[in-house]
Amino acid sequence: MRVTQAMIISNTMRALQGNRSNMAFLQRAIATGKKLHTASDGPVSFSRARRFSNMLSQNEQFLRNIQDAQGWVDATSSKLDLIVGLLMDAADIAKRGADGNIDADIRESLGNKVDGLLDEMLSLANDEHIGRKVFAGSETKSGNPFSINGSNIIYSGNTDPINRKISEQHTISININGQQLLDTGMFTAMINLRDALLTDDTASISGSIDEIDAAKEKVLNIATTLASVSNNLDLAMNRIEAVNVNLNKYISDEEDVDLAEALTKYEAEEIAYKAALQSAAKIMNLSILDYMR
């Protein structure tokens, strides 16, 4: 084949440009740590990585939801614990009041103590978590859900659930509504005990001991249910965190550069480039003119 100067020059330039562009590509990959800069760098990898990162973003939101739910559940169960404590205090007082050896004055003062416990219970039931009524169903911002009217406790909240989305398929209810508290009979038991103590009605005092124990059992049951919700939240969180580790790995597989590989390739390109430069310089220097007299 006849080889002309123009051919050598254009072939050399093309080869050098090819080397340069490979080196630029690898350099960019090494500098950014990414091999996927646009969809066209790998449409399949791109759409896979996008899908994974959509899932990741969603999962991170679920983790936020779970954290929020956990806060609510923790606040609720600590209030329930306090309520159980109040009921236990009341049971102690009832036992003392049932003692036949004490007189009416002491029973009256015990009755006042129970009244104080009842107030405390009421304020716990009306308590808030970050500005929201915990035991009011979805009426979280409509004032106190519980009020006392003589010997009657009035519940003005509703029985709506407060829901949190904790995974793609699962929405769980995280609240205990006021009606559930009412149904344990805790308020009634306290009121009955107070009234029996104040009126020095020994027979009723013994009766209300059982009533208080029954109410305590029911509150404990609710607390147990809530504990299992909390447990579920933990499990969901662990699962999502494990999935996220995998998702991050998958995204990295599609998007990130294997640095060792990229550096090795870069070395190879550099050697090729240098060799091309050197040979080009030598060949292009050759001229028949140097050998003519």
Name the site residues for another protein (rule: CB under 8 A).
1-7, 10-11, 14, 36, 38-44, 46-47, 49-51, 53-54, 57-58, 60-61, 64-65, 68-69, 130-133, 136-142, 157-158, 160-165, 168, 171, 255, 287-289, 292
152 bridge partner residues: 149
Rounded distance, CA 127 to CA 82, Å?
12
Eight-state DSSP code of residue 163: E
* Nearest-approach distance from CB 239 to another protein, in angstroms: 18
* Nearest-approach distance from CB 205 to another protein, in angstroms: 39
Rounded distance, CA 233 to CA 65, Å?
10
Residue among 34 and 239 whose Cβ is closer to another protein? 34
* Nearest-approach distance from CB 161 to another protein, in angstroms: 8
Instruction: Evaluate whether 32 touches 255 at the Cβ level (below 8 Å).
Output: no
Residue among 47 and 147 whose Cβ is closer to another protein? 47
Instruction: Evaluate whether 203 touches 94 at the Cβ level (below 8 Å).
Output: no
* Count of positions (residues) in the chain: 293
Place of tokens 């509703």: 158
Residue among 105 and 293 whose Cβ is closer to another protein? 293
* Nearest-approach distance from CB 136 to another protein, in angstroms: 7
Residue among 65 and 77 whose Cβ is closer to another protein? 65
Instruction: Evaluate whether 154 touches 148 at the Cβ level (below 8 Å).
Output: yes
User: Per DSSP, which regions of 144-232 are E strands?
Assistant: 146-149, 152-155, 163-165, 171-173
Nearest CA-CA partner of 148 in 121, 171, 128, 127:
121
User: Per DSSP, which regions of 166-284 are E strands?
Assistant: 171-173
Place of tokens 């102690």: 92
Residue among 16 and 220 whose Cβ is closer to another protein? 16
- At 174, list the tokens: 């995280």
Rounded distance, CA 196 to CA 207, Å?
10
* Nearest-approach distance from CB 81 to another protein, in angstroms: 22
Rounded distance, CA 8 to CA 208, Å?
108
* Nearest-approach distance from CB 225 to another protein, in angstroms: 19
Residue among 43 and 116 whose Cβ is closer to another protein? 43
Residue among 167 and 199 whose Cβ is closer to another protein? 167
Instruction: Evaluate whether 147 touches 155 at the Cβ level (below 8 Å).
Output: no
* Nearest-approach distance from CB 147 to another protein, in angstroms: 17
Rounded distance, CA 234 to CA 223, Å?
16
* Nearest-approach distance from CB 76 to another protein, in angstroms: 13
Rounded distance, CA 233 to CA 264, Å?
46
Residue among 64 and 274 whose Cβ is closer to another protein? 64
